[in-house]
Amino acid sequence: MAETIRVQISAPFEIPGQDTAGWVQLPAGSRVSDLLRLARPPLALRLLPVVVNGKTAGRRHVLQDGDRVVFLLPMSGG
């Protein structure tokens, strides 16, 4: 079993260790909540909906190697 995983992140905040293509290395078994603890975004951004591989995911979702994680920003119009 791998000790680390790589996930690709799209977020409106910086994540330590993220490369220019958006990939970050995390310990195997990491959850979305662990990713948020690592990034330490402002409270409002911690509440954004999360999608993993195109499906809504909760904070307890366990990330897998190669996952694509997207933090969704609210839309506004006028």
Q: Which residue type, as a one-letter code, is found at position 56?
A: T
List the domain boundaries for the chain.
4-71
Query: pTM above the 0.75 mark?
Result: yes
Return the top range by mean pLDDT from 3-17, 29-43, 51-65. 51-65
User: 48 φ, ψ to 5°?
Assistant: -65, 145
Residue 40 CA to residue 37 CA, distance in Å, equals 5
pLDDT tens digit string along 6-30? 999 998 888 899 999 999 999 999 9
SS3 of residue 62 by DSSP? strand
Whole-Å CA distances, 31 to 26, 75, 76, 77: 9, 26, 29, 33
Give the per-residue pLDDT at 76. 60
More confident of the two residues 12 and 69: 69
Query: 4-71 maps to which CATH number?
Result: 3.10.20.30
Q: Are 18 and 24 in contact (CB under 8 A)?
A: yes
